[in-house]
Amino acid sequence: MADILDWTNAALNDLDMNAYAERADEMAGRLSAETSAGRLPFLTMPYEAGLRRELEELREYLHDFEHMLLLGIGGSALGARALQRAFFPQQDQPGHTGQSLWIADNVDAYALEAYLAKLPPEKTVVVTVSKSGGTIETVGQYFILKQWAQKSLGDAWSDHMLLVTDAKQGFLRGEVERYGIKALPVPDNLGGRYSVLSAVGLIPALFLGIDVEALLSGARKVAAPLAQDDLTGEQLAAHPAFQLACWGAALQDKGFDEMIFFAYIPLWASFGDWFAQLWAESLGKEGKGSQPVPATGVTDQHSVNQMFMDGIRNKACLFLTCPNLPSGPRFPADLPDQFGYVRGKDFGKLLQAEGLGTRMALAASGVPLVEISLGEDSPEQAGKLIALLGAATILTGWLMGINPLDQPAVELGKRLAKARMDADGLEEEKADLAAYLTAERDIREF
């Protein structure tokens, strides 16, 4: 079956998309200029041939390890987790043995101490992902794991380290040069939330035996038409990423400032977290944007769906489905009469029925909804989805008049945290901290 977008319930009659659709020529010109200048490697993937060679060279090396500990945060971790959950679910199931991916994506002393105590050093490769090499949440854990490996493995410690960082500069690049640690680059102009189909996400995928070529092939099918030097407005207008972008921008004009990502492919639920960073960090600028809300079918029918259907009318929905999921076991034939409607039916049919019911109910409740229906739940389809949503996000940002590739607001919190740890400089931030910490507080017990 084909991969399709179903626009039936997108509320197109209530949205003014024409003003955005008429900018197709402008957006096509901008895409051509940006891709030609090398500023959108997410779409052009100029690094692909070299990356494939590097991954192939890593294959035998990774085969010697049973555990991979990935040190990364945000875009350095969310894509890898989504791929693991979708295509290597056995790790989370009873009785698993063999390869295991562990992701240290927080400043969590409990988890870090567990990794130090329980992972066998001789069977573990530690992968540190930081483009800048200065992300303290990640590099701080690297320091601790480096010491752990040195104590346990002696001179062989560096053979158990793999760094994914800038090709030329930064602290981690210095570690590569000093200790001869294996390393793969994060391409220039490739932000973390757009980086899952680079070494950032594909090294963990390769380790777990996920079909890396299929992921890349799927992405190419969606991205390649957008990366043409001679892209026309007519071609762009026909592309689903631009159509989603026009919808996304028009929704905000009508006050739909929340975007639900409802995944009715249970194993793909973590793509909701990946999408949340992509959408929020790209579009939350200058008082604009819409809040992404990850949701999992059918789990969230019984939790937050009440708000979706009967709360404030400010929500739109991307609804992810696949009609060809496993059928599962059959319900027994001797069920009580009150459950007779499922007698002898495949368990998997219940998920499809629940998804259909929820789509209809959301539409009836006034929630604009576009269904993304995948022909199958394979790595190729995942690559297509990643490219589609990434391109749609970039184009939505441009239509909104903001830069979807930076994240200026998050830097303040980082500077204040460094000031709290008494980093050099940052005198203004230290003064702000002192004022904040000495101000009178309204504190109440509970």
Instruction: Tell whether 446 is covered by a domain.
Output: no
Q: What's 274's domain CATH number? A: 3.40.50.10490
- The boundaries of the domain holding residue 240 are 4-34+220-400
Instruction: Tell whether 444 is covered by a domain.
Output: no
Q: Cα 196 to chain center, whole Å?
A: 7
Structurally, how many domains does the chain consist of? 2
What's the rounded Cα separation, in Å, for the pair 295 and 107?
25
Residues 176 and 147 in one domain: yes
What's the rounded Cα separation, in Å, for the pair 375 and 126?
36
Instruction: Tell whether 428 is covered by a domain.
Output: no
Mean pLDDT across 77-97: 97
Residues 298 and 204 in one domain: no
Burial code (b: 16+ CB inside 10 Å, e: under 16) for 2-15 equals ebeeebebbbeeeb
Instruction: Tell whether 436 is covered by a domain.
Output: no
- Residue-wise pLDDT tens digits, 328-371: 999 999 999 999 999 999 999 999 999 999 999 999 999 999 99
Residues 285 and 356 in one domain: yes
Lowest mean pLDDT among 141-155, 382-396, 426-440: 426-440
Residues 196 and 309 in one domain: no
Residues 155 and 247 in one domain: no
- Residue-wise pLDDT tens digits, 27-83: 999 999 999 999 999 999 999 999 999 999 999 999 999 999 999 999 999 999 999
For residue 37, CA distances in Å to 32, 335, 411, 422 come to 8, 64, 26, 40
Residues 281 and 368 in one domain: yes
Q: DSSP H helical segments within 163-229, as ranges?
A: 171-179, 199-207, 212-223
- Residue-wise pLDDT tens digits, 269-301: 999 999 999 999 999 999 999 999 999 999 999
Mean pLDDT across 400-429: 89
* pLDDT greater than 90 at residue 178: yes
Of 210, 228, 253, which marks where a domain is finished?
Answer: 210
pTM: 0.96
Q: DSSP H helical segments within 262-318, as ranges?
A: 271-283, 305-310
Residues 92 and 187 in one domain: yes
Instruction: Tell whether 300 is covered by a domain.
Output: yes
Q: How many CB atoms lie within 10 A of CB 431?
A: 11
Residues 226 and 276 in one domain: yes
DSSP letter string, 44-62: H-TTHHHHHHHHHHHHHHH
Which helix (H) or strand (E) is 248 found in, with range?
A: helix 240-253
Of 210, 232, 267, which marks where a domain is finished?
Answer: 210
Residue 260 DSSP code: E
* pLDDT greater than 90 at residue 412: no
Residues 358 and 382 in one domain: yes
Nearest to 144 by CA among 192, 108, 169: 108
Residues 140 and 164 in one domain: yes
Q: What pLDDT is attached to residue 31?
A: 97
What's the rounded Cα separation, in Å, for the pair 73 and 78?
8
Reported confidence tier of residue 413, pLDDT bands at 50, 70, 90: confident
Residues 48 and 96 in one domain: yes
Yes or no: say if 227 and 44 are a contact pair by the CB < 8 Å rule.
yes
Mean pLDDT across 231-240: 98
Question: What distance separates the 2 farthest-apart alpha carbons in the chain?
Answer: 73
Q: What pLDDT is attached to residue 408?
A: 86
Yes or no: say if 413 and 426 are a contact pair by the CB < 8 Å rule.
no
Residues 224 and 151 in one domain: no
CA dihedral (416, 191, 399, 365) positive or negative:
negative
- Residue-wise pLDDT tens digits, 192-229: 999 999 999 999 999 999 999 999 999 999 999 999 99
Q: What pLDDT is attached to residue 60?
A: 96
What's the rounded Cα separation, in Å, for the pair 133 and 144?
15
Which residues are catalytic, by number?
A: 281, 302, 414
Nearest to 28 by CA among 398, 387, 278, 384: 398
Instruction: Tell whether 237 is covered by a domain.
Output: yes
Dihedral of CA atoms 248, 287, 135, 131 in degrees, nearest 10, equals 40
Instruction: Tell whether 274 is covered by a domain.
Output: yes
Mean pLDDT across 256-264: 98
Burial code (b: 16+ CB inside 10 Å, e: under 16) for 327-359 equals eeeebeeeeeeeeeeeeeeeeeeebbeebeebb
For residue 430, CA distances in Å to 112, 134, 225, 438 come to 29, 20, 49, 12
Instruction: Tell whether 267 is covered by a domain.
Output: yes
Of 186, 210, 234, which marks where a domain is finished?
Answer: 210
